[in-house]
Amino acid sequence: MTKNVQSNTIVGGSPAKFLKTVEEYKEKVLENSVNTKGLSYQDKKSLLEGIFYG
């Protein structure tokens, strides 16, 4: 890169292009995350298999 990028932004590609803000990225990650905290190994496995393999 030969130019500055604004703080809290995500850029990608060549040439670099603005993709989204860090806050937008965090929101998207949280939307798509699966909470498995407190589940047993078998329960986690079953949940994730259901999500990824139908």
- Computed over every residue of the chain, the mean pLDDT equals 92
d(CA 24, CA 10): 10
Taking the whole predicted model, whether its pTM rises above 0.75 is answered as no
Contact yes or no for 39/48 (Cβ under 8 A): no
- φ/ψ of 19, rounded to 5, equals -105, -55
Q: What DSSP designation does 45 have?
A: H
- Smallest Cα–Cα separation from 19: which of 31, 6, 30, 32? 6
Number of residues that this document lists for the chain: 54
* pLDDT over 90 (residue 54): no
pLDDT, residue 4, reads 86
Tell me the pLDDT tens digit for each residue of 19-38: 999 999 999 999 989 999 99
Contact yes or no for 37/24 (Cβ under 8 A): no
